[in-house]
């Protein structure tokens, strides 16, 4: 049912794109918008992972360069019965994580160095299990395609605002479309992302077996993300839905956030934890931080690569 709803929402976004094209350029503009939307979807299908990873300047790691972090993802992928994804670290103080790729066979997961520095081992495990749940649910392609189309609608609307012509009712209709289309695209994008975040929380808790640790990680990440700028989202706001927590600087909370309320997500995970043996996944867990342990032992797990 979720897959069906998502396809309907993507169709709505494509229709919005075509509608803006119709308002700005008539039937020819609508057809051109349809061709562009189809081309963007095809391009995103084959290049989703490359687009996102290049956007973040992510560096790939393996069992030799980051043995503990890579091994953690490897164990979780095996538990989830998924092919081993490519593993990346983003050298950024902004604490967050994301998954990308067109399918489980071509997936990649990434965490920032800021995340590895503030979370303990159980919490990192919960976060990466959440990202693998996105991969298992095939959310990664959908989220990237949605972000791409939403960004294109906003760009087309901005173009129409500055270069619109004509007057009368047609001009007024074009002006209304210019302002309403990005708003409508944002609502659809928000609905897709919120539904999938709840599903990935549930799936991540099942994969890791540690819903309490994931809840603890969400609290730390939401607090950390509100204190540290994310230049990627500042350049491209449509990328905000890719992360495990909102990449919002400051304390303001948007009614139109692409993520569900973090407090509600934590409450749901704590309910899952309450019916499971708390000794397995308490938020305290082990105190070892992956980045910190790398520095103590001199291993390559240090997210900044100082151990190498």
131, 197, 234, 293: the active-site residue: 131
User: 204 is written with which tokens?
Assistant: 């991540």
**How do residues 52-71 score in pLDDT, each as one tens digit?**
899 999 999 999 999 999 99
Look-up of token digits 């030799």: 64
Q: DSSP letter string over 56-68?
A: TT-EEE-TTTSHH
d(CA 33, CA 36): 5
d(CA 133, CA 146): 18
Closest CA to 243 of 112, 125, 137: 112
**How do residues 83-141 score in pLDDT, each as one tens digit?**
999 999 999 999 999 999 988 999 999 999 999 999 999 999 999 999 999 999 888 87
Closest CA to 221 of 249, 196, 246: 246
Do 35 and 167 touch, CB atoms closer than 8 A? Answer: no
**Model-level pTM?**
0.76
For residues 128 and 295, the model is more confident at 128
d(CA 36, CA 34): 5
Closest CA to 14 of 188, 166, 175: 188
Q: How far is CA 151 from CA 13, 106, 148, in A?
A: 11, 24, 5
Q: Is the pLDDT of residue 154 over 70?
A: no
DSSP one-letter code for 177: H
131 included as an active-site residue = yes
Closest CA to 14 of 142, 153, 138: 153
Cβ–Cβ contacts within 10 Å for residue 293, how many? Answer: 18
Cβ-based neighbours of 100, under 8 Å, separated by 6 or more: 48, 49, 52, 53, 107, 108, 110, 140, 144, 242
């Amino acid at each position: 049912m979720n897959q069906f709803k998502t396809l309907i929402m993507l169709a709505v976004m494509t229709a919005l794109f075509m509608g803006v094209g119709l308002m700005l350029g008539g039937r020819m503009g609508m057809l051109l918008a349809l061709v562009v939307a189809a081309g963007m979807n095809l391009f995103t299908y084959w290049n989703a992972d490359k687009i996102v990873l290049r956007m973040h300047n992510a560096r790939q790691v393996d069992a030799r360069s980051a043995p503990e972090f890579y091994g953690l993802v490897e164990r979780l992928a095996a538990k989830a019965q998924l092919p081993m994804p490519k593993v990346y670290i983003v050298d950024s103080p902004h604490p967050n994580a994301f998954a990308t790729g067109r399918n489980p066979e071509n997936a990649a997961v990434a965490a920032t160095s800021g995340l590895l520095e503030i979370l303990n081992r159980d919490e990192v495990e919960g976060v990466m299990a959440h990202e693998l749940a996105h991969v298992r649910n095939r959310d990664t392609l959908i989220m990237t395609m949605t972000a791409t189309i939403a960004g294109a609608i906003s760009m087309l609307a901005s173009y129409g605002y500055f270069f619109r012509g004509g007057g009368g009712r047609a001009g007024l209709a074009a002006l209304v479309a210019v302002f309403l289309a990005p708003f409508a695209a944002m609502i659809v994008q928000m609905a897709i992302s919120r539904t999938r975040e709840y599903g990935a929380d549930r799936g991540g808790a099942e994969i890791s077996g540690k819903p309490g640790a994931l809840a603890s990680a969400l609290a730390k990440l939401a607090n950390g993300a509100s204190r540290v700028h994310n230049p990627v989202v500042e350049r491209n706001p449509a990328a905000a839905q890719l992360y495990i927590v909102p990449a919002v600087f400051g304390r303001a909370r948007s009614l139109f956030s692409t993520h569900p309320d973090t407090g509600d997500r934590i409450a749901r995970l704590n309910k899952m934890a309450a019916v499971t043996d708390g000794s397995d996944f308490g938020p305290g867990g082990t105190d070892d931080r992956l980045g910190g342990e790398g520095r103590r032992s001199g291993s390559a797990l240090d997210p900044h690569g100082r151990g190498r």
